[in-house]
Amino acid sequence: MESISAFDIIKVGIGPSSSHTMGPWEAALAFCQSLKAEGRLADVVSLNVDLYGSLAKTGKGHGTDFAVTLGLCGYDYRTFDTTSLDSVLAKIDTEKKLKLGGGHEIPFDNAIQFHFNYAHPEHPNGLSFAAQFSDGDPYRKTYFSLGGGFIKEEGIEVAADSKSKSKLPCHDGDTILHNCQKLNITVSQLVMLNESTWYSEDEIKQKALYLWNEMKDAIWRGSQRAGVLPGILKVKRRAHEIFLKLTSGQKIENIEECISFLQHSKRDFNIVNKWVSVFALAVNEENAAYGRIITAPTNGAAGVLPAVLMYAVCFLDDVDNDKIVDFIITAGEIGTLFKKSATISAAMGGCQAEIGVSSAMAAAALTEILGGSPGQVLMAAEIAMEHHLGMTCDPIAGLVQVPCIERNTMGAMKAITASNIALESDPTQAKVSLDNVIKTMWQTAQDMNTKYKETSEAGLATNISVNIAEC
């Protein structure tokens, strides 16, 4: 198996979906890069894009069309000014043209087609780009969005972002446990050792703390914004309202003041529970509004990890920067196990592949910084996933809003509970291992009816009356 960095699993993203927004955006960038590499970008006279399967069925609600458009323009979602989204798209729509790769202007009118009744046999998240050159020659490439922003080009087996082999490859839980016991180190120390294959220790710490700062910013922005989320459902933002109730009108200017306020507040169970919900709601309301969030491991599940880490920083003792780094790299490593042996794509595995994986990541990470043994860390991840097995993905109107936003609060609370159970347990007595549950998750994903895999053709999506065509 390929080596995957924790920072490939936890990374800067843009809402609302890693597989339906970030992935297609990456594919559009890759297509432009291939044209540039062959010296043919300036020869393009027309371009069409075909979206297949899940990308077509929930593409409007997930912003797949605007993601492809902006990717073709050469914008990078990691740095794109999200506040300019509407104006940039309006200009393209009005002028009926765009600058391919950021420079070469081509016509662009009704160029994106949604193929609702066809799914590519290789993957449910498929899209093709077809360019026509001035000499009449066609140029076509097909990509697959694998979840978490990962993509793969048809016919190419090696991932575009493949890395050199890590020092102690850990492709399953048993290997992690074996290496930790052999070297007498913690899970986070093992991850640090492997990450040092690609980055220096200082770079690893800087990357982790950068991600934490972005998580905090997303929580703060989401908790301070009221109103209604974009889309036909008109879902009301709730994080801000609950935030005001919990702070009793006290003036708090920024996220650091908020953290200080909470660190010195009463740690009543009910109040803490509500704050964890605020953290998760805030992030995923930002995600649903096309905001910048941290993908962990996907956008639909982006609120779980920040909520659990913020819970630890605000309500537990002595959670310093070193523990924050350990939390993030441990979580990322657990995410790689699911990416390698199962899936982190809801279009492949339902919501168990998103909320379930994020909950397992957060449970393991929390257990790590609370002093859990390697066995307890893996046990926490197993417990969290075990109780998400079979969870379907049935977004109403294809929007990452209902039931997705609330599910992040549940995933966060399950992660905290799983950690508490693992810390009070002997992992040698466990009946189910993390590797067993990952295998079971993948089998469940394969058995699951396709309708429940991010198609909006079953479950809540069909029992709530909404005019999908308006979305």
For 156, other C-beta atoms within 10 Å of its C-beta total 10
60 and 471 in contact (C-beta within 8 Å)? yes
Give me Rg for the CA atoms of the chain: 22
Q: What is the mean pLDDT of residues 296-306?
A: 97
119 pLDDT above the threshold of 50: yes
**Residue 167 pLDDT exceeds 90:** no
Burial class of residue 204, CB neighbours in 10 A (0-12, 13-18, 19+): buried
> How many CB atoms neighbour CB 432 within 10 A?
13
Confidence of residue 467 (pLDDT cuts 50, 70, 90): low
In residues, how long is the chain?
A: 471
Element (H, E) at 299: none
CA–CA distance, 242 with 281 (Å, rounded to integer)? 10
Task: Give CA–CA dist 27/349, Å, rounded.
Answer: 21
> What backbone torsions phi and psi does residue 52 show, to the nearest 5 degrees?
-120, 160
Whole-number pLDDT of residue 27 = 97
pLDDT attached to residue 161: 57
**Mean pLDDT within 40-54:** 96
DSSP annotation of 393 reads: B
Residue-level pLDDT at 1:
77
| Contact (Cβ atoms closer than 8 angstroms) between residue 144 and residue 122 | yes
Q: Strand locations in 53-156, DSSP E?
A: 97-100, 104-107, 112-115, 126-133, 138-147, 150-153
C-beta separation of 327 from 365 below 8 A: yes
pLDDT at residue 24, rounded to an integer: 97
- The mean pLDDT of 230-237, rounded to a whole number, is 95
pLDDT score recorded for residue 158: 57
Q: Is 245 left (phi over 0), alpha (psi -120 to 50) or beta?
A: alpha
Tell me: pLDDT of 399 over 80.
Answer: yes
Element (H, E) at 48: strand 44-52
Burial profile 277-311: b = 16 or more Cβ within 10 angstroms, e = fewer: bbbbbbbbbbbbbbbbbbbbbbbbbbbbbbbbbbb
Tens digits of residue pLDDT in 125-149: 999 999 999 999 999 999 999 999 9
CA dihedral sign, ordered 427, 362, 399, 70:
negative
Tokens representing residue 136 in the block: 């009449």
Please give the pLDDT value at position 323: 98
Pairing mode, strands 126-133 and 150-153? unpaired
Q: Compute the average pLDDT of residues 73-87.
A: 93
Query: Would you say 14 and 82 are in contact if contact means Cβ atoms under 8 Å apart?
Result: yes
Q: 470 pLDDT band (50/70/90 cuts)?
A: very low
Query: 6-153 has which fold?
Result: 60s Ribosomal Protein L30; Chain: A; (3.30.1330)
DSSP letters for 185-232: --HHHHHHHHHTTTS-HHHHHHHHHHHHHHHHHHHHHHHH--SB-SST
pLDDT confidence of residue 2: 83
Does the pLDDT value for residue 225 go beyond 80? Answer: yes
pLDDT at 73: 97
Q: What is the pLDDT of residue 469?
A: 35
Tokens 């990470």 belong to residue: 365
Confidence at residue 162, expressed as pLDDT on a 0 to 100 scale: 61
Indicate the pTM of the whole model: 0.93
Paired residues of 131 in beta bridges:
47, 139
What does the domain layout of the chain look like in residue ranges? Answer: 6-153, 173-470
Q: What is the pLDDT of residue 16?
A: 94
User: How confident is residue 458, by pLDDT bands cut at 50, 70 and 90?
Assistant: very high
Distance (Å) of CA 240 to CA 226, 245, 279, 283, 412: 6, 9, 10, 11, 19
- Cα–Cα distance between 406 and 235 in angstroms, integer? 12
Mean pLDDT confidence for 268-297: 97
Say how far apart CA 371 and CA 363 lie, in whole Å.
Answer: 13
Query: Nearest CA to 2 among 158, 149, 148, 156?
Result: 158
CB 279 within 8 A of CB 271: no
Q: At residue 268, what is the residue type?
A: D
Dihedral through CA 369, CA 167, CA 295, CA 203, nearest 10? 80
> What pLDDT was estimated at residue 468?
45
